[in-house]
Amino acid sequence: MRAPPRARAHTTLSFLDAFRIFVMCLIVTDNIADLLYSRGAFRYSDVVESATTELVSTVQQLQSHIQPDDGCNLQFTSGTTGQPKATLLNHHNIVNNMLTFGKRAELFQKVHRICLQVPFFHCFGNVVGIVAALLYGTTIVLPGASFKAEESIQAIQQERCTVVYGTPTMFVDLLSSAKKTNNLNTDTLEMGVGAGALFSKELIQELLKTFKLKRFCVAYGMTETSPLSFMSKPHDSPERQASTVGCVVDHVEAKVVDATGKMVPFGTPGELLIRGYLNMLGYWGEDDKTKEIIGPDRWVKTGDQFVLYEDGYGQVVGRIKDMIIRGGENIFPKEIEQVLEQHSEILEAQVIGVPDTRLGEEVCACIRLVDGSRLTVDQVKQYCKGKIAHFKIPRHILFMADFPKTVSGKIQKFRLRKMVLEDGSIGTG
């Protein structure tokens, strides 16, 4: 279960004693409004209505003192690996990162209409969505208060959207909803922009086919890098779009290192490090955690196992923390997930490591099936034979209706693993 809204509000407010909070739009749940206002929050509408000539003049004078390197956005990480962290970004980070995004996405070519189905309280919605739209004059279409695939399909059709943003899970649900929609007409859609987690080749190919997209842009990054560090280029082939996370963005350095911190040759897996104007200022009030991720040389550790090629394009192998060590063999879940998701009856797959007395860890696949599927455990294992090494074939297979997610739509594998272990349906030997 996701933490209740009031608990999440308490977590957020614990970081914000030094800030004034402006509430622009609030759906009142569990008396969150009272909690916010008791901590000094202001309604944006109240501030606008109370403005006087003198106050406006004061604000204008203050603006002249604002510098590009001043912190302007306390952006919380998504919490896919645990407790969200408050990341402080500055004007220079965000504006330049989104100028680059707009060039790669070619937002300057026309007045686009973007179906923005990702939430505003994460970088994807707040920065890639709102800031990029302000810079390039695009129209934002909001399908609803929170993501519902059927509402997004309706918005795309009614508002004649040309672009749609989403995480892999959102796009999986979008495809499922599209197949159930009578007289589907999304002919105005030209481009999809995907970020937030890894996309399989099969998912991108299905999106290009179903929605007749001209291109699908894969964007890679993290909150700590404002957020984008890699992205597809305008004329990348569909094959390249589906096999990489794009090319490192302009004015940014990237390198891949081994466990000792030594750079590895091009084409060799290792941890990706990023450096440039896009670096966060730090985690608010957590200097120790900041030093864990940013060294004295200002390289930011991404925590991703990555392959960097000579032409600047890159490929994510998987999260280092998600790696499964089975009897001394390193297994990255992404490889198994991609094979499973090629099956016509598997909607989505998440692979985790679970304790095993003899091998240390075993492979467990959690699977969402398409509606009406009667796929069995034995059939899944048989399907995997010959497609992946025998020791990577999941020993445990669980069919699930849904996966635990952050409110931004990212899968929380640490919670999924906890759910599986607490369920007790798998052994440890």
pLDDT tens, N- to C-terminus, the chain (429 residues): 344 455 555 556 565 554 555 554 444 455 666 666 666 666 667 777 777 888 888 888 888 889 999 999 988 886 656 677 889 999 999 999 999 999 999 999 999 999 999 988 889 999 999 999 999 999 999 999 889 999 999 999 999 999 999 998 899 999 999 999 999 999 999 999 999 887 888 889 999 999 999 999 999 999 999 999 999 999 898 888 888 999 999 999 999 999 999 999 999 999 999 999 999 999 998 999 999 999 999 999 999 999 999 999 999 988 888 999 998 888 999 999 999 999 999 999 999 999 998 899 999 999 999 999 999 999 999 999 999 999 999 999 999 999 998 877 789 999 999 999 998 777 665
- Every domain of the chain with CATH number 3.30.300.30 lies at 323-423
Q: What is the pLDDT of residue 420?
A: 94
What does CATH list as the number for 86-319?
Answer: 3.40.50.12780
Q: In DSSP terms, which residues pair with 355 in a beta bridge?
A: 361
User: Does 3.30.300.30 match the CATH number of domain 323-423?
Assistant: yes
pTM: 0.81
DSSP string for residues in 279-342: ---EETT-HHHHHHHB-TT-PEEEEEEEEE-TTSBEEEEEEGGG-EEETTEEE-HHHHHHHHTT
Residue indicated by tokens 């009897």: 327
Phi-psi domain of 355 (left: phi exceeds 0; alpha: psi -120 through 50; beta: other):
beta
Based on the number of CB atoms within 10 Å of its own CB, is 166 exposed (0-12), middle (13-18) or buried (19 or more)? buried
Q: Distance (Å, rounded) from C-alpha 54 to C-alpha 62? A: 13
- Every domain of the chain with CATH number 3.40.50.12780 lies at 86-319
Structure tokens at 180: 């159930």
Q: Distance (Å, rounded) from C-alpha 422 to C-alpha 29? A: 30
